[in-house]
Structure 1
């Protein structure tokens, strides 16, 4: 800690908000450290529905400013990380008992025009009887609106934010929770579970669903926020449709269900909104699994059964407690609680799409003399040279095709998988040599990279959060089935 005699900012929580805040602050020249009790993104930020979206359904609650803000951030993220985030088409079928066609069209018109679109297309009406995705749906579903949002590898996003923060001077400490804290003489003294001592002028509590607990029990804040905790459950199943389009399904209770492609072999189904009382050890319940299967089977021609499930996961979303509102109505916007007794701030709310704007707003408020810088910055691996096509992902795909031709001595599936994980940094791996292929489907060069640069410490860190190789258990045969998106 010689380089950090006293920190300007100590961030507690290594999810998307915490790493985004650390990155933003470090890039402004502040002395920053981040404490995470587990692995980066090991909580909610690796258990999301993987969507980069404006929140179409929030328009019904009049959240126009929130949706517009998220749509602007959607385009920014798609440009900043084209290797791990890309445009995603969604089919919204016209369903019996669903919202009338005019209402859907009005909402989608607003969605298309609330913010400028640079990375995604506009809405169209498609005939499911001739569309490639229609073959997987019941014949009674004949038409759908096709609109666009984005997909992101959420856990990789968190790792890249932490890496960018570290490159800019931040100290990133994983598996090192804060054990004790004292505020005296204008600064905090923090002791971690390993006995390390850190000193900071200001603390940001970005512990996600644990933020109330950290504010109350660690900070001892009398004004700790009250949170509403909601579990979102997901299923990973066999691939349900031949096209790369996702499905947005209207539910009778007014919510929606998503069925998203996850590589060429899998589909992701989510999510639920189940109230819970504790953020610890989230796990999908039998009722949630039945709910997700029933929601998908309401439209699928060939029903899914429990035997089709490859993986189950759940994450806890911390929502701002708003009396009298349901979980669906509760805002996904963020709030900053600046504690009265000492210079500490608790961050609550927000979503993965708006992490950058949240971080910029907070650091600008705490350090008004510093300059924002992240609006046009790319993440590690995202600096893809211009190849001609417009749109960040199309440009990435052209670059990836060139990479495949350049490294013809490698299986094209390997080159594409590496490109989709590491972006421009895959080129260096291929040039230097990948080394042996391990039984987990990772090359030695990948393992070295993940350990040295992405804070991966265990096999689970690498297989489940840095690469998603854990979705398959067939060793080298995994290579053909884990390309995040066809190129």
Structure 2
């Protein structure tokens, strides 16, 4: 056995929210951890969600009470772990008697308020829409309840940062070429797509957190048969100009018994989604169809006074949810619960594969994965993530108060920029600003050289799209000339040079 090959306790394949959460939890328990992602961290499903931390009100109709209760409990935990990143939000549900009777909605909201302790969010209530000026006149009454909004990709990055702080080795744009069992270890061959290098790692335990590629990884890289089947469900969203000024979201019922969210987004937009379509095509390029766009527009236009068309769509995105196959005929009825499968027979090297899950319950999923791994690592420490803040979340008070403190520390900051820095970085904003005396070169939409350099140095930004679509969402605010200027900076800056390949053009 080659002694030059490094051995780790746990090697994780996949840098979405589940892989990031497991890496963070396991590293904090004292294991040596390595995590590799074939694209960018949060480059697939974990940056294409509805960006909600929620219990899932509609799952109550499917009697998934355990899932809802766990998600509601996690909502409270995550609010405390990342108070700068996760925002409480009120959700308005217009009543449409032909779809669901009022008593059924009241019962659902009663359960939603009581399935878990709710110390930080107000209870649900009935509301009146007369003279609202937002909804069409036939919607006269409705209900309001609490959930939370999150920047999903940044939640992944915070877990990656914390995993690294705890000793984990992490790398994006690094693909697993092969994994095979050799003398009760996993011998994993990897290809670094940035530096064009192939290398190997040994692992005592392999975690398959490949998301939509979970079954494909088992079949093609491990050459073993998967014990759990997965159903890929495509969820698509559109971004429209702001439909209303109020800070609350809407949850709209549709004739097909689905619901569609309309969520205030980045001060200037409304985020609308999602669809649910069983998906059987290639997983590397997932895009919204015209049919999906028209579906979402039709739902929105039946509720709102302000009408929208295809020409109003500013941006769209789609993601694949790898759900546990439970033989349900409808994609919307397939469970959003997760399942962890441990394969370990005849003293073979253990493999844990992650099927299903939702962003709200990623931390509990990570705890479950560590619990499965515990028999192989007697030295593993106890669970710890429930009461430990994520990087940037270690402060008391409100984000507004933290913004004021940042402005006092760096009087050369503009208030609008300081507010965004706190929302994205929390207390890490002090590290971002460092001992600098200014913001440096300006690229548009509040983006300066200071932030680009910080993200390249500290948050694994390789290409402009990593910066503009996942570490931030500033691509939505930038024009073509500004995007070209950013690309030029990535190619020529001493800090960025070498971090971008010849094909590192800006794209979604």
TM (normalized to structure 1)? 0.92
* Corresponding position: 1:352 with 2:352: no
Cα contact 1:228–1:318 (8 A) shared by 2: yes
1:148–1:409 CA distance, 2 compared to 1 (3 A): same
Separation in 1 of the partners of 2:291 and 2:252?
A: 19
Cα contact 1:381–1:424 (8 A) shared by 2: yes
Q: 1:366 aligns with which of 366, 373, 378?
A: 373
Residue aligned with 2:75, SS? helix
Corresponding residue for residue 400 of structure 2: 397
Corresponding residue for residue 241 of structure 2: 238
Gaps of 5+ in 2: 192-196, 484-508
Separation in 2 of the partners of 1:141 and 1:477?
A: 43
Residue aligned with 2:224, SS? coil
Separation in 1 of the partners of 2:111 and 2:403?
A: 34
* Corresponding position: 1:284 with 2:288: yes
Corresponding residue for residue 312 of structure 1: 316
Residue aligned with 2:452, SS? helix
Cα contact 1:440–1:476 (8 A) shared by 2: no
1:313–1:79 CA distance, 2 compared to 1 (3 A): same
Cα contact 1:333–1:349 (8 A) shared by 2: yes
Residue aligned with 1:436, SS? coil
Cα contact 1:135–1:241 (8 A) shared by 2: no
Cα contact 2:443–2:449 (8 A) shared by 1: no
Corresponding residue for residue 389 of structure 2: 378
Corresponding residue for residue 137 of structure 1: 135
- After superposing on structure 2, the runs of 4+ consecutive aligned residues of structure 1 that deviate more than 6 Å are 1-4, 475-478
* Corresponding position: 1:415 with 2:418: yes
Corresponding residue for residue 481 of structure 1: none
1:406–1:452 CA distance, 2 compared to 1 (3 A): closer
Q: 1:461 aligns with which of 451, 459, 466?
A: 466
Cα contact 2:5–2:200 (8 A) shared by 1: no
Separation in 1 of the partners of 2:43 and 2:464?
A: 13
Deviations 1:297-347 (A, max 9, x none): 110102111121110100000111112442222111111121245411110
Deviations 1:170-194 (A, max 9, x none): 1101111110122111101111123
For residue 118 of structure 1, report the CA deviation from its aligned partner: 2.0
1:4–1:125 CA distance, 2 compared to 1 (3 A): farther
Q: Aligned-residue CA RMSD in angstroms? A: 2.0
Moved more, 251-260 or 405-414: 405-414
* Aligned 1:49-198 pairs, distance under 5 A: 49-129=50-130, 134-193=132-191, 194-198=197-201
Residue aligned with 1:202, SS? strand
Separation in 2 of the partners of 1:76 and 1:3?
A: 42
For residue 407 of structure 1, report the CA deviation from its aligned partner: 4.6
Cα contact 2:89–2:249 (8 A) shared by 1: yes
Q: 1:202 aligns with which of 200, 205, 225?
A: 205
Separation in 2 of the partners of 1:113 and 1:61?
A: 18
For residue 290 of structure 1, report the CA deviation from its aligned partner: 0.4
Corresponding residue for residue 252 of structure 2: 249
1:241–1:216 CA distance, 2 compared to 1 (3 A): same
Cα contact 1:404–1:416 (8 A) shared by 2: no
Corresponding residue for residue 300 of structure 2: 296
Moved more, 12-21 or 362-371: 362-371
1:429–1:174 CA distance, 2 compared to 1 (3 A): closer
Cα contact 1:239–1:265 (8 A) shared by 2: yes
Deviations 1:403-435 (A, max 9, x none): 346655432111101111111121343452343
Corresponding residue for residue 45 of structure 1: 46
For residue 439 of structure 1, report the CA deviation from its aligned partner: 1.8
TM (normalized to structure 2)? 0.88
Separation in 2 of the partners of 1:2 and 1:468?
A: 44
Residue aligned with 1:260, SS? strand
1:397–1:217 CA distance, 2 compared to 1 (3 A): same
Separation in 1 of the partners of 2:4 and 2:103?
A: 61
Separation in 2 of the partners of 1:404 and 1:129?
A: 42
Cα contact 2:328–2:334 (8 A) shared by 1: no
Separation in 2 of the partners of 1:182 and 1:206?
A: 17
Residue aligned with 2:331, SS? coil
Corresponding residue for residue 500 of structure 2: none
Corresponding residue for residue 338 of structure 1: 342
Residue aligned with 1:322, SS? coil
Moved more, 67-76 or 326-335: 326-335
Moved more, 323-332 or 141-150: 323-332
Moved more, 438-447 or 139-148: 438-447
Moved more, 435-444 or 313-322: 435-444
